Amino acid sequence: MSNAAPATEGQDRSDGPLHVAIIMDGNGRWAAARGLPRAEGHRRGVEALRRVVRAVSELGILHLTIFSFSSENWSRPATEIGDLFGLLRRFIRNDLATLHRDGVRVRVIGERAGLEPDICALLNEAEELTRGNTRLNLIVAFNYGSRQEIANAAQRLAREVAEGRRDPSSIDADALGQYLDAPDIPDPDLIIRTSGEQRLSNFLMWQAAYSELVFVPTHWPDFDKATLEGAIAEYARRERRFGGLAAKTGS
Ligand code: FPP
């Protein structure tokens, strides 16, 4: 995701977002409220994800980024980490053919190093199979942390300088943005976080510079097309100025 001009810059503010990013929060609380194990909350979270991928496609959104596993999630109990990895495996094995049929291109951002080889193989398979699809980019942030992503980009620039291939004065926001994990994807117009928490938690911090943030009280397993449409309606009421002045209203 680059720091180039946001894809929707200049659009009428009633226009919908082209890139929606979601922090899928509240699986554990959803389960606890029902006396169910946390794993059941995550399982129902995958069902919500299926619904939302369909809804996003129907609404003409071109890019959907989801926060599936953060670099901080390693601090959870090993059993829960195992559950989350198991769900990812099953999601790719069971849903990849459908995603491909529906024109979804799967992209994965985050650190691959340290992931189990079969997980890496599945992520690669999903990316390879769907490479030519154009209806929707589904960007899965897996083992992802924004600070690390930015640090990796800085490291690549520093190496070019050290090897004499780059002048330090050429390092600007565009140059760094080109070394983020998905530089060709426009910045998110709308970032939704479910479950009432109001923070970014190391998600797309560079790319979120001008994103509209919408926080909904719904726990992720209950998220559906209507909740998504509610968040988009809230987005449509916002006036995006990108640091400039308010749009003229006539006269
Ligand atoms: C937050 O709920 C959610 C996660 C840590 C992971 C999100 C994962 C899924 C929706 C399922 C897996 C998806 C894929 C593609 C494998 P939480 O556990 O932090 O909830 P809590 O804050 O209520 O405890």
pLDDT digits (tens, 9 = 90+) for 168-192: 999 999 999 999 999 999 999 999 9
Return the CATH number at 75.
3.40.1180.10
139 is written with which tokens?
Answer: 């960007």
Strand partners, 142: 69
Is the predicted pLDDT of residue 4 greater than 80, yes or no? no
108 lines ligand 1 (CB under 6 A): no
Is the predicted pLDDT of residue 46 greater than 70, yes or no? yes
Ligand 1 pocket test, candidate residues 22, 23, 25, 90, most atoms within 8 A of CB: 25
Assigned domain for 49 exists: yes
C-alpha–C-alpha distance, residues 39 and 44, integer Å: 9
Mean pLDDT rounded to a whole number for the chain: 93
What is the band of 242 on the pLDDT scale with cuts at 50, 70, 90? confident
What is the band of 49 on the pLDDT scale with cuts at 50, 70, 90? very high
Assigned domain for 4 exists: no
> How many Cα atoms within 13 Å fall on the side-chain side of residue 115?
25
Assigned domain for 241 exists: no
How far is residue 95 CA from its own chain's centroid? 18
Q: What is the CA radius of gyration of the chain?
A: 19
Ligand 1 center to 38 CA (angstroms): 9
C-alpha–C-alpha distance, residues 13 and 4, integer Å: 19
Total residues belonging to the chain: 251
Assigned domain for 201 exists: yes
Give the atom of ligand 1 at the shortest distance from the alpha carbon of 25: 1
221 lines ligand 1 (CB under 6 A): no
20 is written with which tokens?
Answer: 């929606």
Quickly tell me which residue has 């002045």 as its tokens: 245
Q: pLDDT tens for residues 206-216? A: 999 999 999 99
C-alpha–C-alpha distance, residues 74 and 46, integer Å: 19
Q: Check if 137 is active-site.
A: no
Q: pLDDT tens for residues 58-92? A: 999 999 999 999 999 999 999 999 999 999 999 99
Mean pLDDT of 32-46: 98
Assigned domain for 152 exists: no
Residue 241 identity (one-letter amino acid): R
Assigned domain for 250 exists: no
Domain count, the chain: 1
42 is written with which tokens?
Answer: 């995550």
C-alpha–C-alpha distance, residues 105 and 98, integer Å: 11
Assigned domain for 176 exists: no
Q: Check if 27 is active-site.
A: no
Assigned domain for 70 exists: yes
Range of the structural domain that residue 190 is part of: 19-144+182-236
